Structures are given as structure tokens and as C-alpha cells.
Amino acid sequence: MDPNGKVAVISGAASGIGLATSKLLASNGASVVMIDLQAEAGRKEASEIEASGGKAHFVETDVLKKDDLQHALDEAVSRFGRVDIAYNNAGIGESGDFLQPDNDVWQRTLDIDITAVIQAVRLEVQLMRSQGGGGVIINTASMGGLLPMPTSPIYAVAKAGVVHLSRSLGYLAAEGIRVNAICPSFTLTPLVQGAGEAAIEMMKQEIGGILQPEDIAQGVLELVNDDSKAGEVMRVTVRNGLDYAHLPGRKQA
């Protein structure tokens, strides 16, 4: 799908990967609806995209709330006429040791990183079907959804769920709706920066560097553009760049 003239809804769009993707799609002619809880930053970034000649609109959205997600989609339709591209990118990391009796933060990781994605995909598919079919849905997973993460097992569980949700919905391509997942390695986002310089240096040593949000945005753009991709899992790593995970269970494109 050529994003020029299309409408994209992007979550987690006030910073990091979501912001980089909003800017890239807007520069390629898409109208972008940026959704996030960070209202001040989101409005500022949308205004800057508009000032640079792009089309953008910000909607304050809590992805944990179905009504908020529906409102964001309704706003996109009201302002731009339809939704062609949905990028479910909002997510959080894992805090503390989930095995400790007093740690209940792990539930929020599941709520945001997989349950909210499921809800968003349901609403997006329903909308795309009501428009007559056709569209692209991309979900941010992680290399942690493909490999064990002993330090963040609940995050890994959630992201593995995103991978398999996306793969399992590959059949929607028969309706013209393509669902894919993107799995970045460590990326210099506010989430990673919050871990501190020592942790970032350790990440760099582990994988040979660190990705920039713009690297992931390029992968999203490729998934939007490539109509042959449905139910596929794109990896984004420092060593291999953009490639696809060849997972068991279905014939790869």
C-alpha cells in the first residue's frame, strides 16, 4: 500500500518509535492520527508535523480503555474520512521481579503490551471491514517475543503474544486486511533511556550497538508498502537490519 493519500492511526506516537513513524508516514503523504497519553508532547509533535507540511492530528488516548480507542478511530474517520493503516505501538517495559509476592506491576505489562493490542486490533478490523475491506495493521512486538528474556519474562510473554496474534491473523489477507508484527532489538527510546547509561552500554555490548527509532520506522514503512506481507514477522537488529523471522507453522512469503 502506498501511504500517499492514506490515513494512519499510530499509538505511542508522542515519542520514540511512534513519533518517528508518524513523521515518516506523514513525509510520505499519509494523514497521521497520533494517539498517546502524553497530551502536551503529542499536540506539540502533531503541530510540528503540520508546520513542516504534513497532515497530523493528536488524540489523547488511554489504550487500556476501549472507549478511548474507539474515540481515536472515530476522530480519524471524522477528520480524514477513513483509516487505512493502524500501527499499534504503545507499550511499556517490565518492572521488578514478578516472582516477589508484593509485585503486581507485571499485570500492567500484560494489560498494555498484549491485552490493549488485542482490543485495538479487534476495533481496527471491524472498522476496516465496515469501510469495505482493505487496510494494514502493524503491531510492535520485540526480539524479546522471539527469544527468552530471563530479566523480563512477562514482557517476553506479552510480546510473544503479539507475534502470534499477528501471525494468526494472516488469514485476513483474503479480505485485503494485512496484519504483521515488527520485532525491534534494543532501541534508543524514552523507555530504554529510563534504564540509565550503564544499562544502555550493556545493551550496546550485547547486540553490537543500539537502534534508533527511525530504524524501526523504516521497517514499518516497508510493511505498509509491501502488499505481499501478511502474518509476517519483521525483525530489526543492528547486525542484520531488516529481515523476516522464519517461524514454524506456516509457509513463509
Helix (H, G, I), strand (E, B) or coil at 210: coil
85-121 burial, b for 16+ CB within 10 Å, e for fewer? bbbbbbbebbeeebeeeeeeebeebbebbbbbbebbb
Q: What are phi and psi for residue 217, nearest 5 degrees?
A: -60, -40
Q: Is 191 exposed, middle or buried (0-12, 13-18, 19+ CB in 10 A)?
A: middle
Residue positions annotated with a catalytic role:
155
> C-alpha grid cell for residue 36?
498517546
Only one residue has cell 500492567, namely 108
218 conformational bin, left if phi > 0, alpha if psi -120 to 50, beta if neither: alpha
The whole-angstrom separation of Cα 62 and Cα 192 is 21
